[in-house]
Amino acid sequence: MAGYAPIRRGRTAGRRCVGGWLGMNGRARPEIPVIAFHALGLDRHSFEPLRASLQDGRQLIAFDLLGHGSNGGRASECLEDHVNHAVEHILRVADGPVHLLGHSFGGVIAALACHSISKDGHDIASLALLATPSGGGQLYADRADAVLLNGVGPFTRATLARWFGETPPPQWRPHVEYAERSLNSLSAQAIASTWRALAAFDDFSSVTPPPAAMCIAAADDLSTPPSAMSAIVDALAGNATGSGPVLKTLPEGGHLFPLTMAPGVARLLEAHWVAAESAGLLPVGGQP
């Protein structure tokens, strides 16, 4: 299927067991997949460092959002279009429970898609939001106007500075280069349309999260600092069941910490997914 990154089905072949797969180490491979939505300006390949860092062979499926990657010619400034696009792909690839994962703008889309399909009875095993803005507003509308006025070059330079800082560590260089290529591949119209879609987002107070919900921030994120993620936790808590969402804060990593700190993020997410599956919320491999 065009528009999503290949599914990683594990490092070694295995044999099927009740509730999952047994790999060469004898551990069950979870069957509940993760569906991931990327940041504005990137594409589905932004999750490859995270996918490569997973240790349980779990399926992580990433799609190109509207206006990005293979969907570059399908930009929309309507937030509902982005959510409907996400819902369509979730339902197409998973007829059972799923874990949803979103980074930055993709976090907004993941949360709204989660709310939409949960109301229709689809099982959401968990929701994880990474470096996600707590709301839309005029800031993003102004960025849309600026990219149309000034072009993609200034947008790329400003975005890289927000994402990585003025002097990123040398080990981040491959991620900086990937992000720069991805940003420069977009049209000004696609960027502006996506900014306007984000500007139309209110906040998370109307979103009902699944029982297992987690937010992850980085202390040095110049784009969405931990205070923004804390605001999301507070907003989601009003509609949560059980203990409500939790917030984890990494000491560093910048806005693109799913790339720059992929192994550490993978450990947090794997623990989150396993907890959701083992706490009686949803059994591994199927319906309750």
SS3 per residue for 47-109: HHHHHHHCCCCCCEEEECCCCCHHHCCCCCCCHHHHHHHHHHHHHHHCCCCEEEEEECHHHHH
Report, as an integer, the average pLDDT of 16-34. 48
Q: Residue 282's pLDDT band (boundaries 50, 70, 90)?
A: very low
Q: What structural domains does the chain harbor?
A: 28-136+202-278 (3.40.50.1820)
How far CA 44 is from CA of 10, 51, 61, 76, 246, in Å, comes to 19, 11, 9, 18, 26
pLDDT at 123 over 90: no
**pLDDT per residue as tens digits for the range 160-209:** 999 999 999 999 999 999 999 999 999 999 999 999 999 999 999 999 99
pLDDT at 227 over 80: yes
**pLDDT per residue as tens digits for the range 61-107:** 999 999 999 999 999 999 999 999 999 999 998 778 999 999 999 99
pLDDT at 248 over 50: yes
